[in-house]
Amino acid sequence: MDNFEKKDDYFYENTKVLKNKLNILDKDLLKESEKKLTALRISELSTSPIVGDFDFEHLKKINYYIFQDIYEWAGQVRKSELAKLDLFCLYNNIDDFANSIFTGLQADKYFIEYDYDMKIAKLVELFGNINALHPFREGNGRTQREFIEELAKVDGINLDLTKIGQNTMIQASHRSMNGDNSQLEELFSELSSPMSLQMQLYYISTLCNPKLAKKLLNCVMSNNKKR
């Protein structure tokens, strides 16, 4: 990873420790503190989720919320290159790639009209694209998991990606970066289940901004009448 961060000023001088609000200079201590603080914030999101339009701004707000206690640049697009087995989107191209991803999601009606299996495939594809985007300096995995799990609820699917181990996720994401989503699809299928129409309507109403919620609610009810 270090080879790609030639313009990176995120670290304390002469260290591999990310600058943080806690002024922790020990890498292991920072990792442990980050884990505890972000776990608390993610727990809060389970009862008080961020309402949005499932666009890039929505993703940024989730990253900010989870990491607000630790990093000044939480929720901001990174300004350096980043890699983990694979080189992620070049930082100068992040906005353009993000626009392509989220414009496509909107055009696809947030997968609301697809059947269950196609929704899973589409969620996997979106997950892979957001992973390739990797727009933040830290916390991309936790942010995209939260985002995808919330979108899954809007699509009437219970999905718990926290059950995937770190090494398994890294391997599956690496394969996805190289055009193979099969492992991710298998994992998503194993960790998902359909929810009732009543619960889906509830999540659409509580996770989406009013204008989007109205549009998706109408779409779901119309599709339900056709069945």
pLDDT tens sequence across 125-158: 999 999 999 999 999 999 999 999 999 999 999 9
CA-closest candidate to residue 160, choices 171, 170, 150 = 150
Answer whether residue 4 shows pLDDT above 60. no
Residue 227 pLDDT level (bands cut at 50, 70, 90): low
Give residue 170's domain range: 2-226
Q: Give ∠ CA 91-83-144 in degrees, rounded to 5.
A: 75
The domain total for the chain is 1
CATH of the domain at 173: 1.10.3290.10
Distance between start and end Cα atoms, the chain: 50
pLDDT computed for residue 1 by the predictor: 39
Instruction: Please state the pTM of the whole predicted model.
Output: 0.94
pLDDT tens sequence across 52-74: 999 999 999 999 999 999 999 99
Rg (CA), the chain: 18
